Amino acid sequence: MSERLEINLAILKRQGMVAQIVVNPDKAIEYKNGKEVNLRDVLKSDQIFSDAQKGMAASEHMLENVFETKDPLKIADIIIKEGEIQLSAEYRKKLRDQKRNKIIDLLHRNSINPQTNAPHPRDRLSSALDESKVRIEEFKSAEEQIETVIGQIKTILPIRYEQLNIEVLIEAQYAPKSYSVLKSFGTLEDSQWMNDGSLLAKVKLPGGLKDDFMDKLNGLTHGSASIKII
């Protein structure tokens, strides 16, 4: 039995015919989602197959009957937009690895160990995912999977996922330089320039970044910033 090729396909079944093209998976997904991508960058070749794994080309006569054109680019456009993107095992693993790393990053930034009020190290979070045999879904965003992941790994390690709302008042002489720090650490929910030039801001901050945020702001303002968790 011949070994299955590791290729990524776009496949469309229409009027009893199967039409396949070999694609760049990242570009194909972007193209299908309506992003501005050159179709030639999506295609590995402009050949239309009936079975790409076996290298069997589709009948031109059948293609013209089904798609009402012989133009491979027009046919490829229809296949991608109306058909299914079939990803290789290698590419699916790549997606899972990317999602896994993003999940670990989110947990490190937004969760704490409630016993120490400090963030868990990334390597400990990674080990917990392995120990609890968490299944990472390649087609779901990391954010969509966080709740499920936490539910599984909290049997391995104590964890609390949190976002902090912090109110900051910064003296006028430090306010302009501090503004970029506030935005880089979290979401700037509100900001007001006071009559004396000082800055009053509310920031939504990942719990795991609280200490780094306070250290950075105190260093920039020489300890004069008023920082309050609300």
List pLDDT tens digits, range 140-165: 888 788 888 999 999 999 998 877 88
Residue 18 predicted with pLDDT over 80: yes
Q: Are 57 and 48 in contact (CB under 8 A)?
A: yes
CA 148 from centre of chain: 16
pLDDT value, residue 177:
86
Tell me which residue has tokens 């920031």. 203
Tell me which residue has tokens 């396949």. 20
Lowest mean pLDDT among 38-42, 44-48, 63-67, 141-145: 141-145
List pLDDT tens digits, range 181-199: 888 777 888 999 999 999 9
Tell me which residue has tokens 């879904």. 137
Which is the CATH superfamily of the domain at 89-161? SBDS protein C-terminal domain, subdomain 1 (1.10.10.900)
- Class of 163-229 per CATH? alpha beta
* Cα 10 to Cα 49: distance, rounded to the nearest angstrom: 10
List pLDDT tens digits, range 49-69: 999 999 999 999 999 999 999
Provide the token pair at 182: 């506030």
Segments making up each domain of the chain, as ranges: 9-86, 89-161, 163-229
Does the pTM of the predicted model rise above 0.75?
A: no
- Any idea which fold 9-86 has? 3.30.1250
pLDDT value, residue 208:
65
List pLDDT tens digits, range 68-119: 999 999 999 999 999 999 999 999 999 999 999 999 998 988 888 888 888 8
List pLDDT tens digits, range 212-222: 888 889 998 99
pLDDT value, residue 183:
82
What count of other Cβ atoms lies within 10 Å of the Cβ of residue 83?
Answer: 20
Q: What are phi and psi of 193, to 5 degrees?
A: -90, 120
